[in-house]
Structure 1
Amino acid sequence: MITHLTSALSMFAIASEAPHVVAEMKAGRIAPEMAISGGQSNKVHQAGSIAKYVCTLAALRLENEGRLSLDASIAELLPEYNGPNASDVTLRRLLENRSGLEDRLIPALRNDPSLPSKKLSLIDAANEIGVGEATKAPGVMFEYTNGNWVLVGAILEHVGEQPLSNLLDAWVLKPAGADTAYIIDGELTGDDPVIAKGTSLPLPSFVACAGGLAGTPTDLLKISRYAFRSSDFDFDDRAALRSVTTSAQDYTLGGRFKLVRDANTGQKRRISWQSGNNGAWYAFVAYDPDTDNGFALVTPDADAAEYTLEMRYTWLDEQGLVPFQ
């Protein structure tokens, strides 16, 4: 069992003046978290868009259970949705961020400070503020549209027949062993929650799949490992997660799988490379399914950006992996 970070990672971590927490996995075993510059280990932080990957895993599990198809249209999966182009866009296109639909979510949150307090249901949010008319045909172009994920959440909740937060907990977080992770409704909860050192958007429950995940670095590593080490997922699921739909972004379904080259063998492969942010909050997790190694970090301080980037590539170098730009 590893008990500390590798020396190079430790050097970068200690040099940072911004608070953050890091964790490393080797051969499936996770070392105790390391808190740097006032960071709070074993405390949940906002993990932003890594929620998209969690919701993608839930969709794959529901498909395996025969409850939905990724290639079914929004109209088929969510009959109560009355937005435009519902018969033209599939769940798969939403997960790929290639729906072609206009994003209305982030502008709505920025323009109406009272919106989070209105407690919209997922279906109401999907109908009122999620996405607008198609600006291009589905599948033509990648656009990082957060409104897509209001629709994803509404579909999962409808098909799963339970509140989305409960579904994600039961179908992804708990089976993954991410026992302290949860879906945010407004702000972080619990005793003495971590406070962001800067501004961030509020997170009402209807943005759960867009960016509502809370967790520790340990949780993020367990979530990343889940699809590749559990019988809840099959070969086709794993292949889909690693099959890039937008090569310039390394984007697959609900997240990124970075193309790397093994410096020793010269062979190429894709590794999970997930990140999320909300204002000051930033989270990152890398996981290599071939070696069962991984690295994760969280910070409540946007000033940590320089060090988080360096630490990501330091970890890659220590794995003997060379990124393709």
Structure 2
Amino acid sequence: MRVATPPSHTKGHPVNRRQCIALAGAAALGRVVPVSAAGPAARYEAALAACTGFNGTVAVGQGARIRFSTAVGFADPQAATPMAVDTRFEAGSVSKWIAAMVVLKLVDDGKLALDEPIARYLPDYRADTGGRITLRHLMSHSSGVPNDIVAARKADPQVGLVPLEQMEAVRRFASGDLRFAPGSAWDYSHSNWLIVKAIVERASGKRYRDCVAAWLLEPLQLRDSGIFSGESSDVPGMAVAYAGLAPPFQRKVTAVPDYLAMAGGFYSSAPDMVRLMDGVLGGGILGPASRAALVRVIMPDQHYALGGRTRIETIAGKAREAAWEDGANGGFRLVARRVLADGASVVVFNNGSHDHRTLGLLASALMEAAYG
């Protein structure tokens, strides 16, 4: 483990963007690290060093194998708790990608179908829209269901602290009139995932968190991942999120009620995320058709597939198709990338509200370094 004290910074964005951008440009030209003779680890260390002030964990993988991982700074800077490679972080909206994996497992088992009207699975949902919306619409944010849950939380922050049975949450926050015809447009609506969770729990006969544990965590032996509700600080080994990483410390927390678990309730560590991506995209968790469906783009303008994005980017001088996942909740940030053809992957976690562009540049530099 590599531990560093947080540097001075302003407004919660301590990473040196100019250095990150310069590093990414050099990487594209094959000049990532001037000490490449020292071996692969030196290339990854140089990528991190170029982004001064990074506080978090990273892991670089090839398939399920962790090629490089390290921890920098503090899991809780106010308490001076050192960061560790297996420190846990909220995954933010990457939780939606995890939820899509669970849905596709039920598709493999013949219990759900992506293109059936959801009225088949939730006959107590409003009949007019339930007969038009499908799971594929919901998971690609093309359903037209308005984002009423976010509007409600903005109007009253206490909404997220009130426990609700899943179908009651659906009735309150995911039953509004459609904003557009299903499949005709894209709107990033958390309310979609309230409906998906109700369908999964009804079709499986299990709590969603138990589905994640049984179908993903246990077979892949992921010991630092799971579903939380409320504030994640109750999870052992969890990092603490802040608006910035220097005094005066300001916690940046957004509670996640259980009914929103699919939208933002997953947590993990950097090595676990590498193994999870490999187990699902390269392993036997899902059948071939479901693996393909998970990453097949449905809304091209957004690069959006089911619960996440797939992009073709130039990596190490070659156009490569990659799962392209970003997540945030409160002060937590996650950037995860996996090249679909060969399984090269990078995961970056942060608990200090770094902007995603900066973390994306770091992830790109690490991925360039992975190709040497």
TM-score (norm 2): 0.79
Measure, in 2, the Cα distance between the counterparts of 1:34 and 1:125.
Answer: 40
The answer (yes or no) to whether the contact 1:165–1:182 under 8 Å persists in 2 is yes
Q: Secondary structure at the match of 2:74?
A: coil
The answer for unaligned runs of 5 or more in structure 1 is none
CA deviation vs aligned residue, 1:136-187 (integer Å, no higher than 9, x gap): 1001111111111111111111111011111121122322332221111102
Structure with the greater alpha carbon radius of gyration: 2
Measure, in 2, the Cα distance between the counterparts of 1:208 and 1:137.
Answer: 26
Is 2:9 the partner of 1:7? no
CA deviation vs aligned residue, 1:90-134 (integer Å, no higher than 9, x gap): 011001110012110111122223323321021111111135211
* Superposed displacement of residue 252, structure 1: 0.8
Measure, in 2, the Cα distance between the counterparts of 1:135 and 1:295.
Answer: 36
CA deviation vs aligned residue, 1:58-117 (integer Å, no higher than 9, x gap): 111101111111111121112232476111100110011100121101111222233233
Q: Secondary structure at the match of 1:24?
A: strand
Measure, in 1, the Cα distance between the counterparts of 2:52 and 2:228.
Answer: 28
Is 2:294 the partner of 1:249? no
Q: Secondary structure at the match of 1:134?
A: coil
Measure, in 1, the Cα distance between the counterparts of 2:345 and 2:221.
Answer: 16
* Superposed displacement of residue 231, structure 1: 2.4
Amino acid aligned to 2:323 = S
User: Which of 57, 81, 88 lines up with 2:101 in the alignment?
Assistant: 57
Is 2:236 the partner of 1:183? no
Give matches, 1:50-89, under 5 Å: 50-82=94-126, 85-89=129-133
The answer (yes or no) to whether the contact 2:58–2:70 under 8 Å persists in 1 is yes
CA deviation vs aligned residue, 1:221-259 (integer Å, no higher than 9, x gap): 122112223223222122212321122221111101111
* Alignment size in residue pairs: 316
Measure, in 2, the Cα distance between the counterparts of 1:278 and 1:53.
Answer: 15
Amino acid aligned to 1:79 = P
Measure, in 2, the Cα distance between the counterparts of 1:232 and 1:92.
Answer: 20
Structure 1 counterpart of 2:188: 144
Q: Percent identity?
A: 23
Relative distance call for 1:115 and 1:7 in structure 2 (3 A) is same
Greater Cα offset, 240-249 or 77-86: 77-86
Measure, in 2, the Cα distance between the counterparts of 1:215 and 1:131.
Answer: 31
Is 2:59 the partner of 1:26? no
Structure 2 counterpart of 1:159: 203
* Dislocated runs of 4+, deviation >4 Å: 261-264
Structure 2 counterpart of 1:95: 139
User: Which of 339, 350, 354 lines up with 1:303 in the alignment?
Assistant: 354
Greater Cα offset, 223-232 or 41-50: 223-232
Relative distance call for 1:280 and 1:20 in structure 2 (3 A) is same
Structure 1 counterpart of 2:10: none
Measure, in 2, the Cα distance between the counterparts of 1:144 and 1:311.
Answer: 26
User: Which of 31, 43, 52 lines up with 1:16 in the alignment?
Assistant: 52
CA deviation vs aligned residue, 1:21-52 (integer Å, no higher than 9, x gap): 11111243114631113242212111101111
Give matches, 1:103-122, under 5 Å: 103-122=147-166
Is 2:283 the partner of 1:230? yes
Amino acid aligned to 1:213 = F
Q: Secondary structure at the match of 2:206?
A: coil
Amino acid aligned to 2:331 = A
Greater Cα offset, 63-72 or 114-123: 114-123
The answer for unaligned runs of 5 or more in structure 2 is 1-38, 76-82, 244-251
Measure, in 1, the Cα distance between the counterparts of 2:92 and 2:315.
Answer: 30
Give matches, 1:124-143, under 5 Å: 124-143=168-187
Give matches, 1:260-275, under 5 Å: 260-261=313-314, 268-275=319-326
Relative distance call for 1:218 and 1:286 in structure 2 (3 A) is same
Relative distance call for 1:315 and 1:191 in structure 2 (3 A) is closer
TM-score (norm 1): 0.89
